A and B are shown apart, each in its own frame.
Chain A
Amino acid sequence: MNKVYADANTAIKDITDNAVLMLGGFGLCGIPENSIAALVAAGVKNLTCISNNAGVDDFGIGLMLKQKQVKKMIASYVGENAEFERQLLSGELEVELIPQGTLATRCMAAGYGMPAIFTPAGVGTEVANGKEKRVFNGKEYLMEYAFDADFAIVKAWKGDTDGNLIYKDTARNFNPLMAMAGKITIAEVEHLVPAGELDPNYIHTPGIYVQRIFQGSNYEKRIEQRTTKSPLSP
Protein backbone atom coordinates (compact mmCIF):
# COMPACT_ATOMS: atom_id res chain seq x y z
CA MET A 1 0.00 0.00 0.00
CA ASN A 2 1.49 3.30 -1.04
CA LYS A 3 -0.63 6.39 -0.54
CA VAL A 4 2.15 8.90 -0.95
CA TYR A 5 2.27 10.89 -4.18
CA ALA A 6 5.08 13.14 -5.30
CA ASP A 7 3.04 16.30 -5.73
CA ALA A 8 -0.35 17.78 -6.64
CA ASN A 9 0.04 17.16 -10.37
CA THR A 10 0.47 13.41 -9.94
CA ALA A 11 -2.20 13.16 -7.23
CA ILE A 12 -4.91 14.77 -9.40
CA LYS A 13 -3.75 13.26 -12.70
CA ASP A 14 -6.80 11.02 -13.25
CA ILE A 15 -9.37 13.73 -12.52
CA THR A 16 -11.14 14.18 -15.83
CA ASP A 17 -13.76 16.46 -17.37
CA ASN A 18 -17.25 16.21 -15.76
CA ALA A 19 -15.90 14.97 -12.41
CA VAL A 20 -17.71 15.83 -9.18
CA LEU A 21 -15.23 17.30 -6.70
CA MET A 22 -15.39 18.29 -3.05
CA LEU A 23 -12.93 20.97 -2.02
CA GLY A 24 -12.26 21.68 1.65
CA GLY A 25 -11.87 25.09 3.26
CA PHE A 26 -13.88 28.01 4.62
CA GLY A 27 -13.29 31.20 2.67
CA LEU A 28 -9.58 30.94 1.85
CA CYS A 29 -8.82 29.24 5.18
CA GLY A 30 -7.71 25.63 4.87
CA ILE A 31 -8.17 25.36 1.10
CA PRO A 32 -6.13 22.82 -0.92
CA GLU A 33 -4.02 25.46 -2.68
CA ASN A 34 -1.62 23.08 -4.39
CA SER A 35 -4.36 20.85 -5.82
CA ILE A 36 -6.36 23.83 -7.11
CA ALA A 37 -3.25 25.14 -8.89
CA ALA A 38 -2.74 21.68 -10.42
CA LEU A 39 -6.38 21.49 -11.58
CA VAL A 40 -6.02 24.91 -13.21
CA ALA A 41 -2.82 23.77 -14.94
CA ALA A 42 -4.46 20.49 -16.06
CA GLY A 43 -7.35 22.44 -17.58
CA VAL A 44 -10.07 19.87 -16.79
CA LYS A 45 -13.53 21.21 -17.56
CA ASN A 46 -17.24 20.84 -16.77
CA LEU A 47 -16.48 20.18 -13.14
CA THR A 48 -19.09 20.11 -10.41
CA CYS A 49 -17.50 21.64 -7.30
CA ILE A 50 -18.89 21.18 -3.81
CA SER A 51 -17.28 23.71 -1.49
CA ASN A 52 -18.54 26.13 1.15
CA ASN A 53 -17.31 29.13 -0.85
CA ALA A 54 -16.09 29.86 -4.35
CA GLY A 55 -12.83 31.60 -3.47
CA VAL A 56 -12.08 35.17 -4.51
CA ASP A 57 -11.47 36.47 -8.03
CA ASP A 58 -7.78 35.58 -8.12
CA PHE A 59 -7.40 32.85 -5.52
CA GLY A 60 -8.90 29.53 -4.52
CA ILE A 61 -11.75 28.15 -6.64
CA GLY A 62 -11.94 31.64 -8.20
CA LEU A 63 -8.93 30.60 -10.31
CA MET A 64 -10.91 27.68 -11.74
CA LEU A 65 -13.96 29.86 -12.36
CA LYS A 66 -11.86 32.33 -14.29
CA GLN A 67 -10.74 29.51 -16.63
CA LYS A 68 -14.41 28.44 -17.02
CA GLN A 69 -13.60 25.00 -15.64
CA VAL A 70 -16.63 24.85 -13.37
CA LYS A 71 -20.01 23.83 -14.78
CA LYS A 72 -21.83 23.69 -11.47
CA MET A 73 -21.04 25.09 -8.05
CA ILE A 74 -22.65 23.79 -4.87
CA ALA A 75 -21.90 26.20 -2.01
CA SER A 76 -23.42 28.10 0.91
CA TYR A 77 -21.88 31.55 0.47
CA VAL A 78 -20.29 33.09 -2.59
CA GLY A 79 -20.24 36.77 -1.70
CA GLU A 80 -16.55 37.49 -2.19
CA ASN A 81 -16.28 36.68 -5.87
CA ALA A 82 -17.34 39.19 -8.54
CA GLU A 83 -16.59 36.85 -11.47
CA PHE A 84 -18.72 34.18 -9.83
CA GLU A 85 -21.63 36.59 -9.46
CA ARG A 86 -21.24 37.66 -13.09
CA GLN A 87 -21.27 34.04 -14.40
CA LEU A 88 -24.23 33.25 -12.17
CA LEU A 89 -26.37 36.22 -13.22
CA SER A 90 -25.52 35.64 -16.90
CA GLY A 91 -26.48 31.96 -16.63
CA GLU A 92 -23.05 30.61 -17.65
CA LEU A 93 -22.66 28.89 -14.32
CA GLU A 94 -25.12 26.58 -12.65
CA VAL A 95 -25.30 27.23 -8.91
CA GLU A 96 -26.96 25.45 -6.03
CA LEU A 97 -26.87 27.45 -2.81
CA ILE A 98 -27.56 25.38 0.29
CA PRO A 99 -27.42 26.13 4.02
CA GLN A 100 -23.96 25.74 5.48
CA GLY A 101 -24.97 23.21 8.13
CA THR A 102 -26.80 21.19 5.50
CA LEU A 103 -23.69 21.23 3.30
CA ALA A 104 -21.50 20.04 6.17
CA THR A 105 -23.93 17.36 7.29
CA ARG A 106 -24.48 16.01 3.76
CA CYS A 107 -20.70 15.46 3.63
CA MET A 108 -20.75 13.85 7.05
CA ALA A 109 -23.61 11.54 6.03
CA ALA A 110 -21.61 10.30 3.03
CA GLY A 111 -18.64 9.53 5.27
CA TYR A 112 -20.87 7.77 7.80
CA GLY A 113 -22.59 5.63 5.19
CA MET A 114 -25.99 7.24 5.73
CA PRO A 115 -28.06 8.01 2.60
CA ALA A 116 -29.85 11.05 4.01
CA ILE A 117 -30.31 13.34 6.99
CA PHE A 118 -33.16 15.46 8.35
CA THR A 119 -32.63 19.14 9.16
CA PRO A 120 -34.93 22.06 9.94
CA ALA A 121 -32.69 24.46 7.99
CA GLY A 122 -34.62 25.92 5.08
CA VAL A 123 -38.12 24.88 6.18
CA GLY A 124 -40.59 27.48 4.90
CA THR A 125 -38.08 28.89 2.40
CA GLU A 126 -37.31 28.24 -1.28
CA VAL A 127 -34.66 25.72 -0.14
CA ALA A 128 -37.54 23.41 0.80
CA ASN A 129 -39.00 23.35 -2.74
CA GLY A 130 -39.41 19.80 -4.00
CA LYS A 131 -37.94 18.20 -0.89
CA GLU A 132 -39.50 15.50 1.22
CA LYS A 133 -40.67 16.82 4.60
CA ARG A 134 -41.14 14.93 7.84
CA VAL A 135 -42.46 16.04 11.21
CA PHE A 136 -40.65 14.82 14.32
CA ASN A 137 -41.91 15.86 17.77
CA GLY A 138 -44.07 18.55 16.21
CA LYS A 139 -41.24 20.20 14.26
CA GLU A 140 -40.84 20.14 10.50
CA TYR A 141 -37.64 18.82 8.87
CA LEU A 142 -36.34 18.51 5.32
CA MET A 143 -34.77 15.33 4.03
CA GLU A 144 -31.39 16.06 2.49
CA TYR A 145 -29.30 13.46 0.66
CA ALA A 146 -25.70 12.50 1.32
CA PHE A 147 -23.35 13.87 -1.33
CA ASP A 148 -21.89 11.60 -3.96
CA ALA A 149 -18.48 12.91 -5.03
CA ASP A 150 -15.85 11.30 -7.24
CA PHE A 151 -12.97 13.04 -5.49
CA ALA A 152 -12.60 14.89 -2.20
CA ILE A 153 -9.62 17.23 -2.08
CA VAL A 154 -8.62 18.42 1.36
CA LYS A 155 -5.86 20.31 3.12
CA ALA A 156 -4.46 19.28 6.50
CA TRP A 157 -1.69 20.60 8.72
CA LYS A 158 0.02 17.29 9.40
CA GLY A 159 -0.39 13.91 7.81
CA ASP A 160 1.43 10.60 7.82
CA THR A 161 2.26 8.10 5.12
CA ASP A 162 -0.80 6.01 6.10
CA GLY A 163 -3.09 8.97 5.39
CA ASN A 164 -3.89 9.95 8.99
CA LEU A 165 -4.60 13.68 9.19
CA ILE A 166 -4.48 16.49 11.76
CA TYR A 167 -5.86 19.96 11.02
CA LYS A 168 -4.92 23.27 12.60
CA ASP A 169 -7.29 25.79 14.23
CA THR A 170 -10.21 26.92 12.06
CA ALA A 171 -8.51 25.53 8.95
CA ARG A 172 -10.26 22.30 9.97
CA ASN A 173 -13.80 23.43 8.93
CA PHE A 174 -15.10 21.21 6.09
CA ASN A 175 -11.85 19.29 5.51
CA PRO A 176 -12.43 16.26 7.78
CA LEU A 177 -16.04 15.95 6.57
CA MET A 178 -15.09 16.00 2.91
CA ALA A 179 -12.13 13.70 3.57
CA MET A 180 -14.66 11.10 4.74
CA ALA A 181 -16.98 11.65 1.81
CA GLY A 182 -14.97 11.22 -1.38
CA LYS A 183 -14.84 7.98 -3.38
CA ILE A 184 -11.18 8.93 -3.69
CA THR A 185 -9.78 11.38 -1.16
CA ILE A 186 -6.66 13.38 -1.89
CA ALA A 187 -5.00 15.13 1.04
CA GLU A 188 -2.31 17.77 0.78
CA VAL A 189 -0.44 18.51 3.98
CA GLU A 190 2.04 21.06 5.27
CA HIS A 191 4.01 18.39 7.09
CA LEU A 192 4.15 14.80 5.86
CA VAL A 193 5.69 12.41 8.39
CA PRO A 194 6.31 8.64 8.52
CA ALA A 195 3.47 6.52 9.96
CA GLY A 196 3.92 6.21 13.71
CA GLU A 197 5.08 9.75 14.33
CA LEU A 198 1.63 11.23 14.97
CA ASP A 199 -0.01 10.43 18.32
CA PRO A 200 -3.07 8.25 17.49
CA ASN A 201 -5.00 10.10 20.22
CA TYR A 202 -4.93 13.29 18.20
CA ILE A 203 -5.81 12.07 14.69
CA HIS A 204 -8.81 13.95 13.24
CA THR A 205 -9.18 11.90 10.05
CA PRO A 206 -8.24 8.19 10.22
CA GLY A 207 -6.18 7.08 7.23
CA ILE A 208 -8.85 4.65 6.00
CA TYR A 209 -10.64 7.64 4.46
CA VAL A 210 -7.55 8.90 2.61
CA GLN A 211 -6.33 7.25 -0.59
CA ARG A 212 -3.65 9.76 -1.64
CA ILE A 213 -1.46 12.13 0.31
CA PHE A 214 1.33 14.48 -0.66
CA GLN A 215 3.64 17.02 0.90
CA GLY A 216 2.40 20.44 -0.18
CA SER A 217 4.67 23.35 -0.94
CA ASN A 218 4.78 27.14 -1.22
CA TYR A 219 1.61 27.80 0.76
CA GLU A 220 0.42 31.35 0.33
CA LYS A 221 -2.38 31.09 2.94
CA ARG A 222 -3.93 34.33 1.84
CA ILE A 223 -5.92 36.28 4.44
CA GLU A 224 -9.29 37.54 3.21
CA GLN A 225 -10.03 40.08 5.97
CA ARG A 226 -6.93 41.16 7.85
CA THR A 227 -8.29 42.62 11.09
CA THR A 228 -6.04 43.74 13.95
CA LYS A 229 -6.30 45.80 17.09
CA SER A 230 -3.90 48.52 18.12
CA PRO A 231 -1.83 47.92 21.26
CA LEU A 232 -3.75 50.83 22.86
CA SER A 233 -7.26 49.47 22.35
CA PRO A 234 -8.95 47.41 25.09
Chain B
Amino acid sequence: MALTKEQIAQRIAQELKDGYYVNLGIGIPTLVANYIPAGINVVLQSENGLLGMGPFPFEGEEDPDLINAGKQTITTVAGSSFFDSAMSFGMIRAGKVDLTVLGAMEVSDAGDIANWKIPGKMVKGMGGAMDLVASAKNIIVAMMHTNPKGESKLLPQCTLPLTGKRCVKKIVTELAVLEVTENGFKLLERAPGVATEEIISKTAGKLIVDGEVPEMKL
Protein backbone atom coordinates (compact mmCIF):
# COMPACT_ATOMS: atom_id res chain seq x y z
CA MET B 1 0.00 0.00 0.00
CA ALA B 2 1.27 3.44 -0.90
CA LEU B 3 1.71 5.75 2.06
CA THR B 4 -0.68 8.56 2.88
CA LYS B 5 0.73 12.08 3.21
CA GLU B 6 0.57 11.65 6.99
CA GLN B 7 2.58 8.43 6.76
CA ILE B 8 5.22 10.13 4.59
CA ALA B 9 5.52 12.74 7.36
CA GLN B 10 5.65 9.97 9.98
CA ARG B 11 8.52 8.24 8.14
CA ILE B 12 10.47 11.51 7.84
CA ALA B 13 9.98 12.15 11.56
CA GLN B 14 12.08 9.03 12.19
CA GLU B 15 15.07 10.99 10.82
CA LEU B 16 14.84 13.53 13.66
CA LYS B 17 17.44 13.45 16.40
CA ASP B 18 17.37 14.97 19.84
CA GLY B 19 18.52 18.59 19.82
CA TYR B 20 17.94 19.14 16.09
CA TYR B 21 16.97 22.57 14.80
CA VAL B 22 14.59 21.85 11.93
CA ASN B 23 12.99 23.91 9.16
CA LEU B 24 9.81 22.39 7.75
CA GLY B 25 8.46 23.61 4.41
CA ILE B 26 4.85 24.05 3.37
CA GLY B 27 2.63 21.00 2.66
CA ILE B 28 3.62 17.47 3.71
CA PRO B 29 6.75 18.76 5.53
CA THR B 30 4.55 20.74 7.93
CA LEU B 31 2.88 17.48 9.02
CA VAL B 32 6.24 16.13 10.28
CA ALA B 33 5.73 18.24 13.41
CA ASN B 34 2.81 15.96 14.37
CA TYR B 35 5.03 12.84 14.54
CA ILE B 36 8.09 13.92 16.52
CA PRO B 37 9.09 10.72 18.37
CA ALA B 38 8.60 10.62 22.14
CA GLY B 39 11.68 11.55 24.15
CA ILE B 40 13.15 13.61 21.31
CA ASN B 41 13.32 17.36 21.60
CA VAL B 42 13.57 19.34 18.37
CA VAL B 43 13.26 23.09 17.83
CA LEU B 44 11.26 24.17 14.78
CA GLN B 45 12.55 27.18 12.84
CA SER B 46 10.11 29.28 10.86
CA GLU B 47 12.04 31.44 8.41
CA ASN B 48 9.81 34.47 8.90
CA GLY B 49 11.61 34.91 12.21
CA LEU B 50 10.87 32.34 14.91
CA LEU B 51 12.70 29.53 16.67
CA GLY B 52 10.46 27.37 18.84
CA MET B 53 7.28 27.15 16.79
CA GLY B 54 4.38 25.51 18.59
CA PRO B 55 1.07 24.02 17.43
CA PHE B 56 -1.88 25.94 15.99
CA PRO B 57 -3.71 28.06 18.57
CA PHE B 58 -7.14 27.22 19.98
CA GLU B 59 -9.99 29.00 18.23
CA GLY B 60 -10.28 32.54 19.56
CA GLU B 61 -6.58 32.66 20.49
CA GLU B 62 -5.22 33.39 17.01
CA ASP B 63 -2.78 36.32 16.92
CA PRO B 64 -2.31 38.04 13.53
CA ASP B 65 1.22 39.02 14.61
CA LEU B 66 2.20 35.38 15.13
CA ILE B 67 2.34 33.30 11.96
CA ASN B 68 4.59 30.71 10.33
CA ALA B 69 6.23 30.85 6.89
CA GLY B 70 3.03 29.40 5.39
CA LYS B 71 1.18 32.44 6.85
CA GLN B 72 -0.76 30.16 9.22
CA THR B 73 -1.57 31.30 12.75
CA ILE B 74 0.62 29.43 15.23
CA THR B 75 1.86 29.53 18.84
CA THR B 76 5.29 29.49 20.47
CA VAL B 77 6.76 26.93 22.86
CA ALA B 78 8.77 27.65 26.01
CA GLY B 79 12.25 28.86 25.10
CA SER B 80 11.26 30.39 21.76
CA SER B 81 12.76 33.52 20.22
CA PHE B 82 11.87 36.05 17.54
CA PHE B 83 14.30 37.71 15.12
CA ASP B 84 14.35 39.56 11.81
CA SER B 85 14.49 37.94 8.36
CA ALA B 86 18.22 38.64 7.84
CA MET B 87 19.13 36.83 11.05
CA SER B 88 16.73 34.04 10.13
CA PHE B 89 18.53 33.40 6.86
CA GLY B 90 21.83 34.13 8.56
CA MET B 91 21.40 31.11 10.81
CA ILE B 92 20.35 29.05 7.78
CA ARG B 93 23.34 30.23 5.70
CA ALA B 94 25.73 29.64 8.58
CA GLY B 95 24.64 26.00 8.74
CA LYS B 96 23.04 26.19 12.19
CA VAL B 97 19.84 24.48 11.03
CA ASP B 98 20.36 20.70 11.20
CA LEU B 99 17.61 19.50 8.89
CA THR B 100 15.44 21.02 6.18
CA VAL B 101 12.37 19.19 4.89
CA LEU B 102 10.72 20.55 1.77
CA GLY B 103 8.47 19.61 -1.09
CA ALA B 104 9.53 19.38 -4.74
CA MET B 105 8.12 19.22 -8.24
CA GLU B 106 11.21 17.39 -9.55
CA VAL B 107 14.42 15.91 -8.13
CA SER B 108 17.32 14.67 -10.26
CA ASP B 109 19.48 11.64 -9.49
CA ALA B 110 22.34 14.07 -8.81
CA GLY B 111 20.32 15.77 -6.07
CA ASP B 112 19.17 18.83 -8.03
CA ILE B 113 15.76 20.16 -7.01
CA ALA B 114 13.08 22.17 -8.84
CA ASN B 115 10.14 23.49 -6.85
CA TRP B 116 9.50 27.15 -7.57
CA LYS B 117 8.44 27.83 -11.14
CA ILE B 118 6.62 26.37 -14.13
CA PRO B 119 7.52 28.72 -17.02
CA GLY B 120 4.46 30.43 -18.49
CA LYS B 121 2.15 28.85 -15.93
CA MET B 122 3.08 29.29 -12.32
CA VAL B 123 5.11 32.20 -11.03
CA LYS B 124 4.76 32.18 -7.30
CA GLY B 125 8.42 32.74 -6.51
CA MET B 126 11.08 30.85 -4.61
CA GLY B 127 10.46 32.35 -1.19
CA GLY B 128 13.17 31.01 1.10
CA ALA B 129 13.67 27.72 -0.75
CA MET B 130 16.81 28.76 -2.68
CA ASP B 131 18.47 30.04 0.48
CA LEU B 132 17.58 26.85 2.36
CA VAL B 133 18.80 24.40 -0.28
CA ALA B 134 22.01 26.36 -0.89
CA SER B 135 23.09 26.14 2.74
CA ALA B 136 21.32 23.33 4.61
CA LYS B 137 23.53 20.48 5.77
CA ASN B 138 20.80 17.88 5.37
CA ILE B 139 17.86 18.20 3.00
CA ILE B 140 15.03 15.68 2.84
CA VAL B 141 12.43 16.03 0.12
CA ALA B 142 8.85 14.96 0.85
CA MET B 143 6.84 14.46 -2.33
CA MET B 144 4.73 12.08 -4.39
CA HIS B 145 6.70 9.71 -6.62
CA THR B 146 4.81 10.78 -9.77
CA ASN B 147 2.97 13.91 -10.89
CA PRO B 148 -0.81 13.96 -11.46
CA LYS B 149 -0.19 12.78 -15.05
CA GLY B 150 1.58 9.71 -13.69
CA GLU B 151 5.04 10.86 -14.83
CA SER B 152 8.03 10.25 -12.59
CA LYS B 153 9.25 13.18 -10.49
CA LEU B 154 12.58 11.40 -9.91
CA LEU B 155 14.48 12.24 -13.07
CA PRO B 156 17.88 11.93 -14.75
CA GLN B 157 17.76 15.75 -15.05
CA CYS B 158 15.22 18.31 -13.87
CA THR B 159 13.19 19.82 -16.70
CA LEU B 160 11.87 22.78 -14.65
CA PRO B 161 13.97 25.78 -13.54
CA LEU B 162 16.21 24.70 -10.66
CA THR B 163 15.93 25.80 -7.06
CA GLY B 164 19.34 24.37 -6.22
CA LYS B 165 21.99 21.99 -7.50
CA ARG B 166 23.34 18.82 -5.87
CA CYS B 167 21.73 19.47 -2.52
CA VAL B 168 19.04 16.86 -1.83
CA LYS B 169 20.25 14.04 0.42
CA LYS B 170 17.15 11.90 0.84
CA ILE B 171 13.66 11.59 -0.66
CA VAL B 172 10.58 10.09 0.96
CA THR B 173 7.62 9.40 -1.33
CA GLU B 174 4.43 7.39 -0.93
CA LEU B 175 6.34 4.40 -2.38
CA ALA B 176 9.90 4.57 -1.12
CA VAL B 177 12.77 6.07 0.81
CA LEU B 178 15.66 6.92 -1.49
CA GLU B 179 19.11 8.31 -0.86
CA VAL B 180 20.98 10.47 -3.37
CA THR B 181 24.41 8.94 -3.94
CA GLU B 182 27.33 9.63 -6.31
CA ASN B 183 25.82 7.04 -8.64
CA GLY B 184 22.16 8.04 -8.52
CA PHE B 185 19.13 7.28 -6.35
CA LYS B 186 19.66 4.37 -3.98
CA LEU B 187 16.51 2.55 -2.91
CA LEU B 188 16.67 2.22 0.88
CA GLU B 189 13.14 1.19 1.83
CA ARG B 190 9.82 0.27 0.23
CA ALA B 191 6.39 1.30 1.51
CA PRO B 192 4.70 -1.73 3.11
CA GLY B 193 3.38 -4.03 0.38
CA VAL B 194 4.83 -2.00 -2.52
CA ALA B 195 6.90 -4.10 -4.94
CA THR B 196 10.40 -3.06 -5.93
CA GLU B 197 9.30 -3.41 -9.58
CA GLU B 198 6.69 -0.68 -9.14
CA ILE B 199 9.31 1.69 -7.71
CA ILE B 200 11.69 0.86 -10.58
CA SER B 201 8.96 1.52 -13.16
CA LYS B 202 8.06 4.89 -11.59
CA THR B 203 11.64 6.15 -11.20
CA ALA B 204 12.98 7.74 -14.39
CA GLY B 205 16.39 8.69 -12.98
CA LYS B 206 19.17 6.22 -12.30
CA LEU B 207 18.08 3.85 -9.53
CA ILE B 208 20.34 1.53 -7.56
CA VAL B 209 18.62 -1.52 -6.11
CA ASP B 210 21.05 -3.44 -3.94
CA GLY B 211 19.69 -6.88 -3.04
CA GLU B 212 16.54 -7.32 -0.98
CA VAL B 213 15.00 -3.91 -0.11
CA PRO B 214 13.42 -3.80 3.36
CA GLU B 215 9.94 -2.43 4.07
CA MET B 216 9.54 0.80 6.02
CA LYS B 217 8.54 0.51 9.64
CA LEU B 218 5.88 3.00 10.69
Write the residues of chain A forming the contact surface with B, with a CB cutoff of 8 angstroms. Answer: 26-30, 52, 75-80, 85, 88-89, 95, 97, 99-105, 107-108, 119-127, 157, 167-177, 204, 221-231
Contacts and interface: CB of A to CB of B under 8 A. Distances in A.
Given A29-B67, A173-B48, A125 B130 contact: yes
B130 A99 contact: yes
Nearest to A174: B85
Given A104-B85, A125-B130, A120 B72 contact: no
B165 A123 contact: yes
Interface in B51-72: 55-59, 61-68, 70-72
Contacts of A52: 85
Contacts of B65: 29-30, 157, 168-171, 221
Interface of B is mostly: loop
13 contacts: A27-B48, A30-B65, A76-B127, A85-B123, A101-B92, A119-B93, A119-B134, A124-B112, A157-B65, A169-B63, A174-B84, A177-B85, A225-B67
A170 B161 contact: no
A20 B59 CA distance: 40
A174 B49 CA distance: 9
A120 B93 contact: yes
A28 B71 contact: yes
A188 B164 CA distance: 38
Contacts of A102: 130-131
B131 to A, nearest CB: 3
Contacts of A175: 84
Given A100-B131, A177-B84, A29 B71 contact: yes
A17 B50 CA distance: 36
B124 A105 contact: no
A224 B62 contact: no
B47 interface: yes
B89 A229 contact: no
B175 to A, nearest CB: 28
Contacts of B126: 76-77, 97, 99-100, 127
